[in-house]
Amino acid sequence: MKAHTRETQATMTPQKSLQFLKEGNLRFQNNLKANRNYLEQVNDTSEGQFPFATILSCIDSRVSAELIFDQGLGDVFSVRIAGNFINEDILGSMEFASKIAGTKLLVVLGHTSCGAIKGACDDAKLGNLTNMLGKIKPAVEAVEEPADKSLRNSKNLEFVDSVAEKNVLMAIENIRKQSPVLKEMEDNNEIDIVGAMYDINTGEVVFFE
């Protein structure tokens, strides 16, 4: 499989880009990777890159976007931060990826049993981690159930995963609120902004549609 070129990128739509990721995740789940010559892709992309999607995901070592979507060199921009939340620098990166580099799809990808989410649920304190987890706390507070405070912690994996999903939805909301550039592109159908959750037990990505 060849790396994307300016011409192939131009044929991609937001919908087609999403379908590419879905098909890639199915290959990943079934251990049927596309045939790629990575050294050839290194050469093909040496003078330019033409990715079709931008994926914001957690730094979790099990959630490499290129692997779980079975994509090659030059196919996707991968933005990673613990807890996959939005900040000014990430928004700037997304604006570059979409407006300048031409990606057609923005994905905010959360995952089950997320350590950053667990830390926010437990109100963990540790150096710079404290402020970082504070950016996830609004998602913790937005999940209403269970009301029993003794169940609102990292030991309750159902609660953790509910917070992770809410965190994805709030990240998408923040993209639209804080980036007029990306909001306008979405309104003009130049890009789609979608959320998804990766199951660390099965390898499946479920998109919020």
- Secondary structure of the chain in HEC code, one letter for each residue: CCCCCHHHHHCCCHHHHHHHHHHHHHHHHCCCCCCCCHHHHHHHCCCCCCCCEEEEECCCCCCCHHHHCCCCCCCEEEEECCCCCCCHHHHHHHHHHHHHCCCCEEEEEEECCCHHHHHHHCCCCCHHHHHHHHCCHHHHHHCCCCCCHHHCCCCCHHHHHHHHHHHHHHHHHHHHHHCHHHHHHHHCCCCEEEEEEECCCCCCEEEEC
From CA 24, how far away is CA 67, in angstroms rounded? 9
Cα 151 versus chain centre, distance: 28
Annotated binding residues for Zn(2+): 58, 60, 111, 114
Annotated binding residues: 58, 60, 111, 114
